[in-house]
Amino acid sequence: MRIFEFFFKYKPIVYEKGRLAFQLIGSPAWFILFVIAAAAGAYYAYRYVARDKYSVGLVVLRAVTFSVLAFIFLRPVLNISTVLPQESYMAVVIDNSESMKIKDDGQVARSEQLQKQLEATNFIKRLEDKFKVRTYRFDRDSERIEGMYRMTYSGKRTRLESATDLLYQELGTVPLSGVVLITDGVDNASKQWTESLSRLEARHIPFYTVGVGSENITRDAEIVKVAAPRETLKESTAVVDVSYRSHGFSGRKATLYVRENGVLLKSEEVVLPADGEIAEKSIDLPVKNEGTRLFSFALQAQDDRIPENNTLDALVEIKNDHPQILYIEGEPRWEFKFLRRAIQDDPNIRLVTLLRSSQNKFYRQGIDKEEMLAEGFPKKREELFQYKGLIFGSIESTFFTQDQLKMVVDFVSNRGGGFLMMGGRNSFVGGRYQNSPIADILPIQMSQEDRTPIIGRLKLAVTDYGRTHPLMKLSPDANANIKQWSELPPLNDFNKTLEAKVGGIVLARGQPEQKGSSEPILLAYQRYGRGRTMAFTSGSSWRWQMEMDHEDQTYELFWKQILRWLVNTSPDPVMISSDKDTYLPGEAIRLYAEVSNKTFDRMNNAKVIAKVTNPDGVTESLALDWNGAQEGVYQTELNASEPGIYRVEIDAAQGSENLGTNRTAFQVQDRPVEYYNARLDTRFLQSVASATGGRYYPLSKIGDVPDDAVYVAGETSFVEQKELWDVPFLFMLLCVTLAAEWFWRKRKGLA
């Protein structure tokens, strides 16, 4: 900056905002004529010189010399708008949130750095010499302050729109020359910041943004996100994905601790990624206790300078709802027998089976009413939709009517149920499903051939994706899990299919004993509409039970995981959820309900009541209203300031018909959000300055603001003329061109 002023007399901002003019001519455009005349004169002076490449250079040097002399003698000036002293206001807005306490270098807090710079540059006094200064602090809310002694740096949230709203209210009708915004650029609470800023933009108020902090915090490990299921079945395994990043710890090891309601469950060693990159760790959590469970995830790295951002929580609702799965088989076979036996001791899954014993005769098991499935496979939506999962065994597609097959598709896509087709003599192409509606929902493609299952020994080989999927985890240890799969007896058959569809995920393939043979798909799944579908192309997994030790539970574990996964996300007719599982005190909480009848037709005219019980046991009833935009979706808002877990139970009815109930929970926690994603956001502050016609300054340059801020057009401004004829660069350029021309002439014998 000082070098620029030495050569050009003024700061860059003067040239940015000033308009070039000449005192001796009316318009700068006339100067172009002088340049043309200078070029013509230079050419005339050297018209008799031999016409070679050297003569061109001499002409250019002489033309530049004439042009510079013309520029100087025409008395150039910069016309720039400058505010009259003490005739307008300047707002100084300072971030008062907790992030200003962060010590980027491990020694000095951001607030201390700011205070030192303000004192070293005499910032406030220099501003007050030129403007009527109004000072404000902001965090979640904003207020005017009389001095820096009122700064506490204790705000729990940063909401920039609170500052711009207050400025518009207090200074909306007075001459405001600019706003000095001092912050780290992080905004974690604004909802309409752009709209709020636009009201000041419309008045052409420039923002001079000052960035406090560092873009690259040294030695910080942070948990970015915890992705956990909002609800799961009791006695299941919840898979939680923990995302984390670090600065200054690349390649170093850290420990990830998992606690349930404060009790340590497990710890995992992780390797921290390169600076700024996000890594992810999947954690398997066995959930045994019914009810609302609070899991905490903490990342601990040695010498971490911001330990406040190392912990995040997840709230999981553990349900004991006993979802029903309908399993239909077209013939007695070993897979049917062993599958029923594997599930019979599972307290949370109800397997209802329908076995065709002869033409139009069925053997029913797991029913709780005599009339249940009395006529075979359901013919009505409400009868089928009471189940959350559906399994087709070895039964041909012609057994079902077209309406029933279409109803199965609707069961998955609209009801959100889970569907599994197992291998067998009458499954897949063998059951002529390739041309049925069922072909659309399966994760694999079927050919028109190979109708008979292929008999031959093949091992189940888990794919790379399958190794990390919870469905394929027989052991929590990755190496032990692979070993356990490799030791299973081979399967004896499979239904041949084509490759998986675009959205299909292959978890396991067959590994034939004969090398060089193709590896058929054995297990694959995909999402379809609201539900999920799976294909297990073998009908001989029962061999894992028969040929293993009688105490081995691999077969049982595999099928329990499959069936739980099949129904784990299947919704009820009435569902309730909040937009997040953890809120800050006073933050708006949005509750959403999806309401359907027994056939899962969305209902827009239901009466929906939520009962919210706070941590002290006090219950409040709230009505949810249809949002008018989505079929069957109701919503409401509430505020909660008391920390703890809030439980929500919803009841929906239409007239005298009870549509159903459901429950969820959320947590209110005063967590230190200001320490998350805490690096200086320079790009955001630069964009604000650019959009408003201001400038961005690093904290070290805050002393330039009082001098730069006076150059702004407004009702209290006057046009100041900055003379340019004596700019040092012009005389240096003149000396250079004259000396170069003389030297050139001397060498060519023209002097």
DSSP assignments along 467-523, one per residue: GGSGGG-SSSSHHHHHHHHHTSPPEEEE-----B-TT-EEEEEEEESSTT----EEE
Name the β-bridge partners of 658: 653
Residue 445 — very low, low, confident or very high, per pLDDT cuts 50/70/90?
Answer: very high
User: H or E element: which one contains 67?
Assistant: helix 53-73
Give the pLDDT confidence score for residue 288 in this predicted structure: 82
Contacts of 624 (CB under 8 A, 6+ apart): 591, 593, 608, 609, 610, 634, 635, 636, 650
The pLDDT of 275-284, averaged and rounded, is 89
The pLDDT of 545-555, averaged and rounded, is 88
650-667 confidence digits (pLDDT tens)? 999 998 899 999 999 999
Residue 310 has pLDDT above 70, yes or no: yes
> Which amino acid is located at 742 in the chain?
W
Residue 677 — very low, low, confident or very high, per pLDDT cuts 50/70/90?
Answer: confident
Backbone φ and ψ of 682, nearest 5°: -65, -40
371-387 confidence digits (pLDDT tens)? 888 889 999 999 999 99
Helix, strand, coil percent values for the chain (each to nearest 5): 30, 35, 40
Residue 561 has pLDDT above 80, yes or no: yes
The pLDDT of 177-189, averaged and rounded, is 92
In sign, the C-alpha dihedral spanning 197, 199, 202, 205 is: negative
The pLDDT of 183-198, averaged and rounded, is 89
Give the pLDDT confidence score for residue 516 in this predicted structure: 60
The pLDDT of 628-636, averaged and rounded, is 93
For the range 20-25, what are the long-range contacts, defined as Cβ-Cβ under 8 Å and sequence gap of 24 or more? 20/76, 20/77, 20/78, 20/79, 20/724, 21/76, 21/77, 21/78, 21/79, 21/721, 22/74, 22/75, 22/76, 22/77, 23/74, 23/75, 23/76, 23/77, 24/73, 24/74, 24/75, 25/74
Give the 3-state DSSP-derived string for 285-328, with helices as H, strands as E and coil as C: EEECCCEEEEEEEEEECCCCCCHHHCEEEEEEEEECCCCEEEEE
Instruction: Specify the 3-state DSSP secondary structure of 53.
Output: helix
Give the pLDDT confidence score for residue 156 in this predicted structure: 87
With CA atoms as reference, report the closest residue to 472 among 422, 423, 507: 507
Give the pLDDT confidence score for residue 191 in this predicted structure: 85
Region of poorest pLDDT, from 70-74, 133-137, 525-529: 70-74
Give the pLDDT confidence score for residue 184 in this predicted structure: 93
Cα 643 to Cα 315: distance, rounded to the nearest angstrom: 14
Residue 449 — very low, low, confident or very high, per pLDDT cuts 50/70/90?
Answer: confident
Q: Which residues of 110-129 are buried (b: 16+ CB within 10 A; e: fewer)?
A: bbebbeebbeebebbebbee
Give the pLDDT confidence score for residue 218 in this predicted structure: 78
Specify the higher pLDDT residue, 178 or 348: 178
Contacts of 225 (CB under 8 A, 6+ apart): 241, 242, 243, 312
Give me 436's structure tokens.
């049925």
Residue 55 has pLDDT above 90, yes or no: no
Residue 51 has pLDDT above 60, yes or no: no
Residue 334 has pLDDT above 70, yes or no: yes
Contacts of 313 (CB under 8 A, 6+ apart): 226, 294, 295, 296, 297, 581, 582, 667, 669, 671
Give the pLDDT confidence score for residue 347 in this predicted structure: 82
The pLDDT of 84-109, averaged and rounded, is 92
The pLDDT of 408-418, averaged and rounded, is 96
The maximal CA–CA distance of the chain, rounded, in angstroms, is 122
Region of poorest pLDDT, from 318-322, 327-331, 433-437: 318-322
Cα 205 to Cα 181: distance, rounded to the nearest angstrom: 12
Give the pLDDT confidence score for residue 506 in this predicted structure: 96
**Taking a C-beta distance cutoff of 8 angstroms, is the pair 444, 521 a contact?**
yes
The pLDDT of 277-287, averaged and rounded, is 88
Give the pLDDT confidence score for residue 47 in this predicted structure: 62
The pLDDT of 264-282, averaged and rounded, is 91
Residue 514 has pLDDT above 80, yes or no: no
Give the pLDDT confidence score for residue 641 in this predicted structure: 85
With CA atoms as reference, report the closest residue to 109 among 684, 705, 675: 675
Backbone φ and ψ of 218, nearest 5°: -85, 135
Give the pLDDT confidence score for residue 698 in this predicted structure: 95
Give the pLDDT confidence score for residue 734 in this predicted structure: 84
For residue 96, the 8-state DSSP code is -
Give the pLDDT confidence score for residue 188 in this predicted structure: 87
Put simply, whether the predicted model's pTM sits higher than 0.75 gets the answer yes
Give the pLDDT confidence score for residue 14 in this predicted structure: 83
Give me 398's structure tokens.
């012609």
Cα 179 to Cα 205: distance, rounded to the nearest angstrom: 7
**Taking a C-beta distance cutoff of 8 angstroms, is the pair 648, 578 a contact?**
yes
**CA Rg, the chain, in Å?**
38
Specify the higher pLDDT residue, 368 or 500: 500
Cα 429 to Cα 439: distance, rounded to the nearest angstrom: 10
Give the pLDDT confidence score for residue 665 in this predicted structure: 94
Residue 104 — very low, low, confident or very high, per pLDDT cuts 50/70/90?
Answer: confident
Residue 238 — very low, low, confident or very high, per pLDDT cuts 50/70/90?
Answer: confident
For residue 231, the 8-state DSSP code is E
Give the pLDDT confidence score for residue 720 in this predicted structure: 84
Region of poorest pLDDT, from 292-306, 415-429, 496-510, 511-525: 511-525
Give the pLDDT confidence score for residue 452 in this predicted structure: 79
Domains of the chain with bracketed CATH? 2-83+720-747 (no CATH), 89-215+685-701 (3.40.50.410), 220-320 (2.60.40.10), 324-567 (3.40.50.880), 574-668 (2.60.40.1930)
Name the β-bridge partners of 145: 135
The label of the residue with tokens 């709203």 reads 165
Backbone φ and ψ of 696, nearest 5°: -100, 140
Give the pLDDT confidence score for residue 746 in this predicted structure: 76
Q: For residue 656, what are the CA distances in angstroms to 28, 381, 607, 609, 611? A: 85, 21, 10, 15, 20
Give the pLDDT confidence score for residue 375 in this predicted structure: 87
Burial of 687 (0-12, 13-18, 19+ CB in 10 A): middle
E strand map for 84-230: 89-95, 132-138, 142-145, 176-183, 207-211, 220-227
The pLDDT of 78-88, averaged and rounded, is 89
